[in-house]
Amino acid sequence: MLRDAHDILIKPLVTEKSMLLMEENKYCFMVNKKANKIEIRNAVESLFKVRVLNVTTRIMKGKIKRMGRTQGKRPDTKRAIVTLAAGEKIEVFSNLQ
């Protein structure tokens, strides 16, 4: 099932680790849990007009949180690390470094 690129990429991840990965031309995104690597690759290439070499994904389990006697769980999220071709760059992240 083909999805819109905006439905696949939820938001970019800006952490210390993702900033270090940017030096290796790798960018981190939070993505839809049902999206596969091919859909993520096509979404990044169409939105940012870059060439993607590799996509790595992982599912982060949500933490159990307590509020007094009640207990709840944060939602599970899926993250993708996208490796770009040499010389390629995503402009959204360039202002953060």
Residue type, 41: R
Q: Exposure string (b/e) for 32-64, b if CB count within 10 Å is 16 or more?
A: beebeeebbbbbbbeebebebeebebeeeeeee
Which of residues 3 and 28 earns the better pLDDT score?
A: 28
pLDDT digits (tens, 9 = 90+) for 33-46: 999 999 999 999 99
With bands split at pLDDT 50, 70 and 90, how would you rate the model's confidence at 2?
A: low
The structural domains of the chain, ordered by start, are 5-86 (3.30.70.330)
DSSP 84: E
- pTM score, whole prediction: 0.86
- pLDDT of 28 > 60? The answer is yes
